[in-house]
Structure 1
Amino acid sequence: MKDHAEHVEARGEVAPRHLMPLSRADALHLLGSVSLGRIVFTHQALPAVRPVNHCVDGDDIVISLHESATLASLTAPAEGPGLVVAYEADVIDPETHLGWSVVVTGYARLVTHPEELDHCRSMLRPWVAGAMDHALRIRPDIVTGFRLDAQPPPAVPAR
């Protein structure tokens, strides 16, 4: 006999999905497999979200910025670790609802050293026409992620 999930999917509905947490290493690996994400920051005392392209450089996330970008005007105090931001990327199939999502919270700083900016330019492929004037490097503090799976995670045997 079919289980509940098979009955639901037979009616054209999506069965409930199971969240499987990702390790930090797996989350950063998945983040490096895509080039588009969303940065969350504070702008004029309000939360703001912008889609941006990125690459992963070691454990850091680097995003490209253009001179006219709101993010390019953000500056962190020189003595602090940077601006607190969140960064999210995901790949979730709209039909099956299977996929993954990763959220990084950390400190962001504009890349100002000319050699480091050249290095960032060599790794990034901006989607927007025009030169990449700036780059922002996010040093992750908290990395969380999950995979949406159709099957529940395997049971861990009791010891």
Structure 2
Amino acid sequence: MDYHDGFRELGDQECLRLMATASIGRMVFTRHALPAVLPVRYVLDHDSAIVVRTSKASPMVVEVDNAVVAFEADCFDEDARSGWSVVVTGRAGLVRDPGECRRLRALDTQSWANPAGETYIRIACELVAGRSLERPPDAEPSQARRSRDIAHGVCDHLC
């Protein structure tokens, strides 16, 4: 479905395909009865779960185990005025099986730091929603782009 404001709704498979191309997202969960958001590195495992590697000492670990969370990833090109955003909602859980942890380590799940005492959080992709924005061909370029074009002597679209 196309929206009149330039956004296009994405199907589940397209959302997951786009999420597989990014490595940084935001975990949204409840902490002390309030919304909390943390940027994290992640991988998409088997196109059906988001996996985050973190420290066992992270406060997020206690809060998200067996809880419903949201996870958002996006990519945006300011000059092209285009991009996408995907939100996944699902139950999160700690991965406790040692064999599964070894398998996940092989997926190159990285953390911001190299945590001693690492753990893995898996989020089931139960609800998937996303949208993309593409600049119409006749749209004006951004001010930053116009300034850069002028600096490089490219002003035919301005004159």
TM range (shorter): 0.7 to 0.9
Q: For 1:113 and 1:100, how far apart are their aligned partners in 2?
A: 34
Q: Which runs of 5+ in 1 are unaligned?
A: 1-15, 77-81, 153-159
Moved over 4 A (4+): none
Distance, in Å, in 1 between the alignment partners of 2:73 and 2:64 is: 24
C-alpha change, 1:139 and 1:92, in structure 2 (3 Å) is same
Matched positions, count: 132
Q: TM-score, normalised by structure 2?
A: 0.76
State the SS of the aligned residue for 2:111: coil
Q: CA RMSD of the aligned region, Å?
A: 1.9
Gaps of 5+ in 2: 138-159
**Stretch deviating more after TM superposition (46-55 or 92-101):** 92-101
Aligned partner of 1:73 among 62, 65, 70:
62
For residues 117-132 of structure 1, the aligned pairs below 5 Å read 117-123=101-107, 124-131=109-116
* Alignment equivalent of 1:48, drawn from 29, 32, 36: 36
What does residue 92 of structure 2 align with? 108
After superposition, residues 3-152 of structure 1 pair within 5 angstroms as 18-58=6-46, 59-74=48-63, 76=65, 82-123=66-107, 124-131=109-116, 133-151=118-136
- Residues 135 and 99 of structure 1, relative CA distance in 2, 3 Å threshold: same
TM-score when normalising by structure 1 = 0.76
